[in-house]
Amino acid sequence: MVDQSPVDGTYRADGTAPLSKTRSTLTDQIWQQLRNDVLSGRQSPGKRLRLDALKEEYGVGFSTLREALWRLSAEGLVVSNSRKGFQVSPVLRDELIDMTRLRILLEQMALDEAIQNGNDEWEARLLSTFHRLSKYKQTDGQPWDHWHKTFHNDLVWPCRSPVLQQLRNQLHDHSRRYRHAVRNDPNRDDLGEHRALLDACLERNAQKAKALMAQHLQLTTDLVLASFDR
C-alpha cells in the first residue's frame, strides 16, 4: 500500500509548502508501482484490472488509478475497452518475434558506437555492474531485474544517441514481461552469456559483441516461444 499523506491537506505553520505529496507525485508513484507489477508479471498478462480491487490493493483513489492506467495504456502495457475497462496487455508470439528483431538491430547499433567511444571509466563501470549481477539469479526477482537492466544499459553507456537509448530501453522493458516465462531455464548459462558480452566489449571486438548480443536475445525469444507451445 502506498503511503498516503493527505494530498491536498497539511501545511507548515507559516502556510507555505505542503508537508504531503502532491497529487501528481502520488500518481507518479502509483504509475511506477503498477508498471513494475505489470513488467514483473505480478499483474499477469491479460488480467482484468478492476478499479475496486486496485483501490484496495494500492490504497489510492479512483482518479489516481485512472491517470496511472491511462499512462500505462499509452505505453502499450495496458489496454482499455469501453465495456471491459482496463486489462494488462496480453503476450503475443508475433509481437515477441517482431520486438526481438528490432531489439537486435538497435542493440547492435548502440554497441557499435559504445565500443568506439568507450574509455577506462566505461570498463570500470561494466566490471562493477557485472560483479553485482553475478550475485543474483533470475529467480531472485527484482534485484536480478535491476542489475540485469543496469548491465545492459552500461554495455551501451558510451552510445551518444538519446533517441536510440530511449528506444532500446522501451523495448527492453516490454521484453521483460516475456522473460518471466523462462526464468532460471536449465537450458542456458545466463551469467556466462553476460560474461561473454562483457569480455567482447573489453576486447573492443564490436563484431563479436554484436554477434553475442544477437544470440543472447534470440535464445531468450526461442525459449519463450517454446514455452508457449507447452
Q: What is the pLDDT of residues 118-156, one digit of tens each?
A: 999 999 999 999 999 999 988 888 899 999 999 999 999
Structure confidence at residue 111 as a pLDDT band (50, 70, 90):
very high
Beta bridge partners of 81: 85
What the chain holds in terms of domains, given with CATH numbers, is: 23-88 (1.10.10.10), 93-228 (1.20.120.530)
pLDDT tens digits for range 56-84: 999 999 999 999 999 999 999 999 987 77
pLDDT at 170 over 50: yes
Amino acid letter, 139:
T
DSSP string, 121-189: HHHHHHHHHHHHHTT--GGG-HHHHHHHHHHHHHHTTT---HHHHHHHHHHHHHHHHHHGGGTT-TT--
pTM given for the model: 0.83
- For the range 38-43, what are the long-range contacts, defined as Cβ-Cβ under 8 Å and sequence gap of 24 or more? 38/72, 38/77, 38/78, 38/88, 38/177, 39/77, 39/173, 39/176, 39/177, 40/141, 40/142, 40/145, 40/176, 40/180, 41/177, 41/180, 43/88
User: Which residues lie below 8 Å from residue 214, measured CB to CB, with a gap of 6+?
Assistant: 104, 108
